[in-house]
Structure 1
């Protein structure tokens, strides 16, 4: 299974989600699941994650300092099984860019994982906020990662959108 976590710039939400999901999968011994992240925009391509995202993940024992932002590419729609979006706007953008030959399925990360933590299942963007917003995002992505692992371990697997 190949999963791509997608947010706007790939410097806050999706790298934190990637780190949380990798940690949870590793703890569970689920090595058959590959995880990556990307952004719908290209503003930060090649840049490291936001320093606040790196610090937040580190406080929770996860190192995302080596991740570099990249923009979602047409090949991602066939390379990955699922494109898992941070919010509804990301979901709409990813769906709108979907090439005709795409095989990947597209869903909100929290919905796919079975952990809709807030109203519409969106992970709020902490970029213009402070440390409290980054901590809240960590709690949301970590809860979603834990829910995804529980589903995979139970043999159900996250299957939102079926």
Structure 2
């Protein structure tokens, strides 16, 4: 085990949204703060700072994690995807498009975390039921209570993604 002295900065190397970063950071800095403060990617929101609200959710090696519960040094050597990396050169991700069409974003504070969780969810469940979508959303708090539009948007995005995959095959 490496001993880190108090106040000593540690080199963290990780890929964020496809771009390699090498940054020195405090050993106790949260991944959410590292993303926002050190990398300047402010789309990842910090709400409760206890992992309850889900606003800070990002993908680490393809898995949805609460970045307010993970230290930046724990992400060393990983691939992180944030809301800023969800769209591609071709345009918005189907989830983003459906959130817009279904009025699933009200104030927008919870939206980045929900979208990132939904990305992982739809990777593993191409044809989710409404109940499965609601279960996935149970880890997210939307203070505007826009859940009806969110569920509808995820359902429609799932259909679009499934149809795109079927056309390719």
TM-score by length of 2: 0.28
TM-score by length of 1: 0.29
The structure with the largest alpha-carbon Rg is 2
Work out which structure has the larger RCO, using CA pairs closer than 8 Å and 6 or more positions apart in sequence: 1
